[in-house]
Structure 1
Amino acid sequence: MLRALDIRFAVPPRRALQGHPSDPDQSLWLPEARLNIAACALESPRAPPGAPAIVWAPDGAPRAVRPMYREELRARVRQLAICIRRQFQIGEAVALYLPMTPHAVCLYLAAVLAGCVVVSVADSFSAEELRTRLEIAGAVGLFTQDVVLRGGKALPLYDKVIKSGTRARAVVLPAAEEGISQGCSPSIATPLRSGDLHWPEFLREGVRG
């Protein structure tokens, strides 16, 4: 099965199964193995060459389907993983407080590739719910948007981060970044908190480092 899935280990397992003499529930699969599942997904040769990795459509235009191909996905994720490593340490928890966009997919894979723990938070969560989720997870950072564009409206998102009172450092994407705004480019009305980063600054910091 591992060969069929083309799982590539950073450290291979000593054996497939390490049984327990008295309690089968204590048996260990793939003991001492180490891998990064995002790296496995990005490097797997199983996907047909030229096949789309992500297929998406802008809000309000469900028929305007757009692809992101594997090579572009791989390049974006690698770039973002470098940027994430400049801001966060391996093992630290970072949250994604985002709508499901190509950026959200790329950031999820990039955070895993960088060795971080990913905390998914629905963009519908209130400020209080967000704070609770971040506290439980021990998140030290989060990625969010200025607003969420939905049904022709710009719904505040970063404002909820501020209201939550979280100390997690935020990286704030513009909602128009992926072209989902259909010509509208809302700006962040509320200034960023000290320590938070606009998306372009986050990318520049990664290159600079």
Structure 2
Amino acid sequence: MNLHLIRHPQPLLDKTYCYGSSDVAVAAETLALCCERLTAQLLPLRPGLAICSSPLQRCSDLALALAQALGVESIALDTGLQEMHFGSWELCAWDDIAWAEVEAWNRDLAHHAPGGGETLVEVAQRVWEVFDELRRGDDAHCIVVCHGGSIRMLRACAAWQAEHGAGATPDAAGLEAIALRAAADRRDIGFGELMALEILSVPALAA
């Protein structure tokens, strides 16, 4: 199966703020330009194409626009694709978050919950569930509109699967390895960027 991962367009709130699971909007003109560019890239995939998206509007608005432009009848919204929940850090300026709190997270990236929100292992668990559903699907191509953190986690899931076999399912140690691999993925992912990810399909009967 081929996943076509798209990070949402640039939201109205800039990167000096923490806005993981917060539902931040995208300007209409930014959304339209991003959709137009991506449609041209994705048109060859139109027959039999599926679209899955984070329900947060900076993703779902783009997914809906792409579905209309590509003639896809419906999209799937999955909360498992949402960006990490940063608890009390949400919508705070990064400069206003106590450095001691950031350092506590740096010391235990996998298991510390920044702002009392989610841990990376918890994010890995829910993203793996989405990944597992996708790899058991019948579609040859699927557009996935989500967030930078979700994309890194999906790539980490695919890398773990490639190492352990198509039918493998991660235990607690596996989820920690996926979380840490995603955290170590330092590649900058641009707003509205499209990237391909090939994953090993698993027959539904193997579930």
Q: Which has the larger radius of gyration?
A: 1
TM bin, normalised by shorter chain, reads 0.3 to 0.5
Please give the TM-score of this superposition, normalised by the length of structure 1: 0.40
With a CA cutoff of 8 Å and minimum separation of 6, indicate the structure with the bigger relative contact order.
2
Please give the TM-score of this superposition, normalised by the length of structure 2: 0.41
Between Structure 1 and Structure 2, the one with more helix by share is 2
Between Structure 1 and Structure 2, the one with more strand by share is 1
